[in-house]
């Protein structure tokens, strides 16, 4: 319940109601006292006009009391309407602020969603590009390795052929050297035999010896 000057509205309404009841209770007492004071006074001879005036005064008083009560009710009602208007204004203000915040939140949410969609699109494109480039790089690596394996195989075959060729060449060289050594050894043996024969056939004359030496030297040179 809302406050009216620091007091609850129900309390104010109850107070106004009690005031009305008290006024209603006091009115008969006051009327009775007036009648008693008039009737008990022997010196007072009231005419019908005076009674009418007194009655009119009573009516005016009652009307004033009713007007005062009505004015109090109007004041309370006016205050109630004013407070209700203040509450409605506050509610309207709160609703507007709430709607403004909701609109701002909705706008921010839409902007965030739009930004996320845009970034996701960029990410998706970058990811697809990466996957394509990844496959291309992997294929390049495979091609390079395959080429290396082919070259390795070719070089291995060439190496084996070269080794066989080296063995054959070494065998042929060894054979040629052996033959040359045998030929040289045979030639030396022949030269040695000729030399021995020439010594046996030497004559005592110096001329013959000189001729024999020359012949031997010439034969050796041959």
Of 64, 99, 131, which residue sits at a domain end?
131
DSSP string, 122-176: HHHHHHHHHHHHHHHHHHHHHHHHHHHHHHHHHHHHHHHHHHHHHHHHHHHHHHH
Q: pLDDT per residue over 137-184, tens digit each?
A: 899 989 998 999 999 999 999 999 989 999 998 988 888 888 888 888
Q: Which residues contact 49 (CB under 8 A, 6 or more apart)?
A: none
Q: pLDDT per residue over 86-100, tens digit each?
A: 888 988 999 999 999
Query: What was the pLDDT predicted at 110?
Result: 93
pTM value is 0.34
Query: What was the pLDDT predicted at 3?
Result: 40
Residue 179 located in a structural domain: no
Number of folded domains that form the chain: 2
Pairwise pLDDT comparison (79 vs 221), residue with the higher score: 79
Are residue 51 and residue 125 in the same domain, yes or no?
yes
Residue 98 located in a structural domain: yes
Query: What was the pLDDT predicted at 42?
Result: 45
Query: What was the pLDDT predicted at 78?
Result: 78
Of 131, 165, 196, which residue sits at a domain end?
131
Query: What was the pLDDT predicted at 81?
Result: 81
Q: pLDDT per residue over 41-82, tens digit each?
A: 544 455 666 677 777 777 777 776 776 677 767 777 777 788
Are residue 87 and residue 8 in the same domain, yes or no?
yes
CA distance 130 to 164: 50
Are residue 50 and residue 119 in the same domain, yes or no?
yes
Residue 26 located in a structural domain: yes
What ranges in the chain are assigned the alpha helix state H? 9-40, 48-200, 206-221
Residue 82 located in a structural domain: yes
Pairwise pLDDT comparison (71 vs 217), residue with the higher score: 71
Are residue 87 and residue 194 in the same domain, yes or no?
no
Query: What was the pLDDT predicted at 109?
Result: 92
Are residue 88 and residue 190 in the same domain, yes or no?
no
For residue 162, the number of C-alpha atoms closer than 13 Å in the C-beta half-sphere is 6
Domain of residue 17 covers 3-131
């Amino acid at each position: 319940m809302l406050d009216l000057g620091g007091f609850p509205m129900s309390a104010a309404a109850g107070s106004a109601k009690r005031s009305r009841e008290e006024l209603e209770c006091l009115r008969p007492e006051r009327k009775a006292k007036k009648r008693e004071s008039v009737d008990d006074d022997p010196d007072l001879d009231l005419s019908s006009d005076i009674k009418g005036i007194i009655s009119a005064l009573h009516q005016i008083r009652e009307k004033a009391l009713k007007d005062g009560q009505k004015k109090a009710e109007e004041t309370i009602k006016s205050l109630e309407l004013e407070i209700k208007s203040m509450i409605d204004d506050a509610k309207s203000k709160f609703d507007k602020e709430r709607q403004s915040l909701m609109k701002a939140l909705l706008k921010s949410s839409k902007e965030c969603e739009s930004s996320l969609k845009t970034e996701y699109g960029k990410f998706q494109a970058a990811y697809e590009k990466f996957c394509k480039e990844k496959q291309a790089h992997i294929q390049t690596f495979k091609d390079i390795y395959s080429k290396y394996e082919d070259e390795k195989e070719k070089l291995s075959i060439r190496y084996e052929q070269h080794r066989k060729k080296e063995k054959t060449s070494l065998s042929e060289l060894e054979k040629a050297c052996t033959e040359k050594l045998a030929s040289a050894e045979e030639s030396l043996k022949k030269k040695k035999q000729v030399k021995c024969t020439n010594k046996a056939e030497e004559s005592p004359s110096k001329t013959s010896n000189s001729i024999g030496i020359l012949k031997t030297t010439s034969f050796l040179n041959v």
